[in-house]
A and B are shown apart, each in its own frame.
Chain A
Amino acid sequence: MTNHWIDIKNTDCALIMGSNAAEHHPICFKWVMKAREERGATIIHVDPKFSRTSARSDFHVPLRSGTDIAFLGGMIKYIIDKEKYFKEYVTEYTNASFIVGDKFGFKDGLFSGFDKKLSTYDKKAWAFAVDANGVPKRDKTLKNPKCVFQLLKKHYSRYDLKNVSAITGVSEKNLLKVYETYAATGQKDKAGTVMYALGWTQHTVGVQNIRTSAIVQLLLGNIGVAGGGINALRGEPNVQGSTDHCILYHILPGYHSVPRAHWPTLADYQKANTPISNDPLSANWWQNRPKYVVSLLKSWFGEAATPENDFGYSWVPKGDTPKGLVQGDYSHLHIFDRMYKGKIKGGSIWAHNPAQSIPNTTKVRKAMDNLDWLYISEIHQNETTDFWHRPGVNPKDIKTEVFLFPACHRVEKEGSISNSGRWVLWHYKAAEPAGESKSMGETMVEIMNAVRKLYREEGGVFPEPIVNLNWPSHFDADQIAKECNGFFLKDTTIKDKTYKAGSLVPSFANLADDGSTSSRNWLYTGSYTEEAGNKMKNRDLSQTDLQAKIGLFPGYSWCWPVNRRVLYNRASVDLNGKPWDPTRVVIEWDGSKWIGDVPDGGWPPMATGKGKYPFIMQKEGHGALYGPGREEGPFSEHYEPIETPVKKHPFSKQLSNPCAKIIESDMDKRATPGDSKYPIVLTTYSLTEHWCGGGETRNVPSLLEAEPQLYVEMSEELAKEKGIKNGDGVIVESARGRVEAVAMVTMRMTPFKIQGKTVHEIGMPFAFGWTTPGVGDATNRLCVSAGDPNTSIPEYKACCVNLKKADKLTELS
């Protein structure tokens, strides 16, 4: 979230899209409802299914899964055509005025720089034109045909109501209703918020879905302001924390690229990952990256990390140089594909149920049979821990040796959790771990200590990364929290205060690239200090009048970065530091200092000449209407899902994302576009009563009682066509699998009119698996192994299926 949960109450209009917020983030709806009741905010829900979120929204607009970019592209066109954008904001704070270089081009669905063989782009083709000093050229009149604004206007001019309606299935009337309502937040004193979740990310165009919303929000001046922002509603309480601390393969803690083979030395790495801006007005915050990376290495390798050995950079594993769609990608899609192809021998799985939650699950389960060994840490047995005796296999045929470590529940341990609003809260242990279960941290520390002992005693091919680790003898959450914050490693004086070696660093501004500081995550530096202790434990509700007006509680928990509650808040004020909306002040310049929230950098307002552009994480300091960093283009473009019910779309000849990560194997069969064998769109989702794959919640009787079995929501029209009645057993089939479910025939699902033809869409939850008897089994057996080119997140939200009434049921009872 750029903003935070409470801030939703400040909005004038919430566009909930790609999210079923009321069902999956029930508490957040308290703030949505407050906005509606107290501000008269309009709540809009755009989603294939009428859900509990729709029920509490002012209106629900059904759209076909996978057409969000078309829908929002139409909104961009509307905003520009009707001049609903916030001109001053767009000119001053976004890159609308930047001149794009001559190499940029766009033709029939492809941008310039495309390499057909590798299915990737050479992004240099999209660079900005720069002046003699290397500063991007600008035209603040926004008239230059090569400026971002004009290119944007041209790009989205194809997204007219007729085209958008034909492909999304949304009536022109409904499109206009949403566009008009939301575009009204482009006024200076109005704010609109975008709330999204996996309904946007889980597509082969996931990142570009969100990019498109960023364009909308920047045009309307909705970033940085109270009641605005782009708000990713993260899943489990700590999904934000797990991203910050890099549970995924592609980053190191604190959002640094994972080292790659073509960056053999630390200098190579730093050079490639440290942007240089020649514009003195750009803060270009990532220029500080080397300090954060060296502090991270110092935290990992302690005294063994010296300037002479690149602080141990060579001990950090290097990913292959990414090339094409496979090489250098270690995401789940690829891990299980490699496992299926016999290239992975063993491994560990923590708090994760891939045999239930990875697409094309039948293949995933089969892939696991190829492992020699596997160890798993879990609180309940689930489809992954028990894969070796799943229905249809004989355990005697499975060679894998499986070790199951009982993990304790989260209420049985203490630690930090980071919520969607980036608040880091300490949570306390409520009970002792049951039986012999242990926290996963404890298990991991013990295993690694045993490995370290072996390496120390017996050596090995490459022992340094393991024996040199700054590794604890036992797990202590409090100590880890301190390590995340970071220490001074030698006596250091800041202003008039001297910090002894070994004391906690007060702020990431004090981190250094010479090895004199450590920090396991620069974003968390300042969360645990000598002066204030563990700020994650802060529960102080005091606030200034200004803060009270917008629900800021700076003394409650701690928030990264530096306790700033609304990101990019320097964009909430004009060039003189005066808030766009004086009734909803995030920050304000009082003549000598900023008041309100912690500003995005303490520099004075832009008009003083000593200020900095507000989008400090961007190299050029401006909000990116044009974003040259993504894999499939600087603007978003509508591409169909990999499995689509249509053969063509109105925007170009490029049917699907040209850079989509598609997995190929004998088990990865796909329907052809417009395949008459699989004419129905399937979308999958979670539900309030079960959490994700259901491994935990299926073991909670009162939740299983409330949602006992796998169902398939379908329209009355489709049910009639197929001769299916509510409550009937149904077989749903895709090119990859077959799943039994119970029909839930409902007027909440709507058939779509797509390019003149009726297209049906159905929806199924993915929480039910065979280890809970009679509830049904993995919906993901139907889903397709194709992912977004930027993130490799699989396209769970759209694939093509067919269905029929079941003669008999074996998975459900």
Chain B
Amino acid sequence: MSKTFLIDVTRCTACRGCQVACKEWQGFAANKTTQIGWGSHQNPPDLNPKNFKIVRFQEHKIGDTVTWNFMSDQCRHCLQPPCKDMADGYMQGAVVFDEATGAVVYTDKAKQLPKEAFDEMKSACPYDIPRRDDATGIINKCDMCYERVAAGLIPMCAKACPTSAITFGDREKMLEEAKKRLAVVKKDYPEAQLIDAEEVRVIYLITDKPEFYHKNLVAQGPAGISRMAALAKMTAPLKRSVRNLLG
């Protein structure tokens, strides 16, 4: 049965347990980060080949009321992933679906993709997720910890989350849970919504305007559209096509 995450921002304390646990599980070395010229708790500043997960921080003040929005960002594991469409146009097997979970996984072969392929994948991704290590040519992103899931465990970030802001499970159940939580949260936050629930396996439940979290919280249209992607889009659900064209 395919899997899905629910990331409920009303429960997120930005502890960054998910960010650090992901990194530790994947065995990545640390980036050299700094505050100089940056001055933010969001560090590393962006996703990169050694961070599949980062927590984004944005602060806003309306009247006297401060809000501080946190978003634990990662690959959404699109049901119809544009990045895969792009990669497939160059080489089959660089980006694959993991049958058991529905995870979109970049394999070792992805390293063989040319830089242009990566550029197309990145710009096709509605959430600006894929990253490339220019030194090694490695193209990577979150793999849903599919090996853990195959072993009956939950992804490391969900496991580390102390407040159940990240939960993970069978898609049907998670969709149901997402709707239930939305109904509850709406009582306090009438603007609450689920983001792109029908199209992705990582569903965000948010309470403020999406851009108050991150510009790519909601799917954004690609800058350049390749033949494969255009083809893919024709078969994609109408809703997304329209938005992509508008974007």
- Is A54 on the interface with B (CB-CB < 8 A)? yes
- Is B184 on the interface with A (CB-CB < 8 A)? yes
Q: Which residues of A contact B67 (CB under 8 A)?
A: 55
Q: What's the Cα separation between A27 and B13 when bound, in Å?
A: 10
Q: How large is the interface on A (under 10, 10 to 19, 20 to 34, 35 or more residues)?
A: 35 or more
- Is A60 on the interface with B (CB-CB < 8 A)? yes
Q: Judging by beta carbons under 8 Å apart, are A705 and B162 in contact?
A: no
Distance to closest chain A CB from B66 (angstroms): 5
Contact pick for A55, options B13, B20, B23, B32, CB 8 Å: B13
Indicate with 1 or 0, residue by residue over B21-32, a CB within 8 angstroms of chain A CB atoms.
001100011111
Q: Which residues of B contact A728 (CB under 8 A)?
A: 39
Contact pick for B24, options A702, A729, A748, CB 8 Å: A702
Distance to closest chain A CB from B54 (angstroms): 9
Q: Helix, strand, loop or mixed for chain A's interface?
A: mixed
Contact pick for B66, options A709, A745, A747, CB 8 Å: A747
Q: Which of B128-169 contact A (CB under 8 A)?
A: 162-164
Q: What's the Cα separation between A705 and B37 when bound, in Å?
A: 16
- Is A703 on the interface with B (CB-CB < 8 A)? yes
- Is B227 on the interface with A (CB-CB < 8 A)? no
Q: Judging by beta carbons under 8 Å apart, are B44 and A705 in contact?
A: yes
Of the candidate stretches A29-37, A247-255, A469-477, the one touching chain B is A29-37
Q: Judging by beta carbons under 8 Å apart, are A708 and B163 in contact?
A: no
Q: Judging by beta carbons under 8 Å apart, are B30 and A702 in contact?
A: yes
Q: Judging by beta carbons under 8 Å apart, are A747 and B61 in contact?
A: yes
- Is A50 on the interface with B (CB-CB < 8 A)? yes
Q: What's the Cα separation between A707 and B33 when bound, in Å?
A: 8
Q: Which residues of A contact B39 (CB under 8 A)?
A: 711, 726-728, 742-745
Answer whether A748 and B163 are a contact pair too, CB < 8 Å, given A29-B13, A707-B43.
no
Distance to closest chain B CB from A393 (angstroms): 26
Q: Which of B181-197 contact A (CB under 8 A)?
A: 184
- Is A279 on the interface with B (CB-CB < 8 A)? no
Q: What's the Cα separation between A711 and B29 when bound, in Å?
A: 24
Q: Which residues of A contact B31 (CB under 8 A)?
A: 705
Q: Judging by beta carbons under 8 Å apart, are A705 and B33 in contact?
A: yes
Interface centre among A742, A745, A748 (most CB of B within 10 A): A742
Q: Helix, strand, loop or mixed for chain B's interface?
A: loop
Contact pick for A23, options B13, B24, B28, CB 8 Å: B13
Q: Judging by beta carbons under 8 Å apart, are B20 and A29 in contact?
A: no
Distance to closest chain B CB from A811 (angstroms): 11
Q: Which residues of B contact A812 (CB under 8 A)?
A: 35-36
A27 — nearest CB in chain B belongs to which residue? B162
Q: Which residues of B contact A701 (CB under 8 A)?
A: 29-30
Q: What's the Cα separation between A22 and B162 when bound, in Å?
A: 10
Q: Which of A196-220 contact B (CB under 8 A)?
A: none
Q: Judging by beta carbons under 8 Å apart, are A33 and B11 in contact?
A: yes
Q: Judging by beta carbons under 8 Å apart, are A708 and B162 in contact?
A: no
Q: Which residues of B contact A745 (CB under 8 A)?
A: 39
Q: Which of A663-719 contact B (CB under 8 A)?
A: 688-689, 701-711
- Is A187 on the interface with B (CB-CB < 8 A)? no
Residue pairs across A and B with CB atoms within 8 Å: the count is: 110
Q: Which of A1-44 contact B (CB under 8 A)?
A: 22-23, 26-27, 29-30, 33, 37
Interface centre among A706, A710, A727, A744 (most CB of B within 10 A): A706
Q: Judging by beta carbons under 8 Å apart, are A54 and B36 in contact?
A: no
Distance to closest chain B CB from A36 (angstroms): 9
Q: What's the Cα separation between A706 and B36 when bound, in Å?
A: 14
Q: Which residues of A contact B176 (CB under 8 A)?
A: none
Distance to closest chain A CB from B57 (angstroms): 9
Q: Which residues of B contact A710 (CB under 8 A)?
A: 35
Q: Judging by beta carbons under 8 Å apart, are A37 and B36 in contact?
A: no
Contact pick for A30, options B20, B37, B70, B164, CB 8 Å: B164
Q: Which of B43-92 contact A (CB under 8 A)?
A: 43-44, 59-61, 66-70
Q: What's the Cα separation between A726 and B35 when bound, in Å?
A: 9
Answer whether A37 and B162 are a contact pair too, CB < 8 Å, given A706-B20, A747-B59, A748-B68.
no
Q: Judging by beta carbons under 8 Å apart, are A55 and B15 in contact?
A: no
Q: Judging by beta carbons under 8 Å apart, are A22 and B13 in contact?
A: yes
Q: What's the Cα separation between A747 and B20 when bound, in Å?
A: 27
- Is B14 on the interface with A (CB-CB < 8 A)? yes
Contact pick for B35, options A23, A53, A709, CB 8 Å: A709
Q: What's the Cα separation between A50 and B13 when bound, in Å?
A: 13
Indicate with 1 or 0, residue by residue over A58-69, a CB within 8 angstroms of chain B CB atoms.
001000000000
- Is B16 on the interface with A (CB-CB < 8 A)? yes
Q: Judging by beta carbons under 8 Å apart, are A54 and B24 in contact?
A: no
B54 — nearest CB in chain A belongs to which residue? A706
- Is A52 on the interface with B (CB-CB < 8 A)? yes
Answer whether A708 and B34 are a contact pair too, CB < 8 Å, given A29-B162, A33-B163, A55-B13.
yes
What is the interface of chain B, defined by CB distance below 8 A to chain A? 10-17, 19-20, 23-24, 28-41, 43-44, 59-61, 66-70, 162-164, 184
14 A-B residue contacts at CB 8 Å? A29-B163, A30-B163, A33-B11, A52-B68, A689-B20, A702-B23, A703-B20, A706-B43, A708-B32, A708-B35, A727-B37, A742-B36, A744-B40, A745-B39
**A-B CB proximity, top 10 nearest:** A701-B30, A742-B35, A727-B39, A705-B30, A726-B39, A22-B13, A55-B68, A709-B35, A26-B15, A727-B37
Q: Known A-B contacts: A23-B15, A56-B13, A705-B30. Give 12 more (CB < 8 A).
A: A23-B13, A26-B17, A54-B66, A702-B23, A707-B41, A727-B35, A742-B38, A744-B41, A747-B61, A747-B66, A748-B68, A809-B36
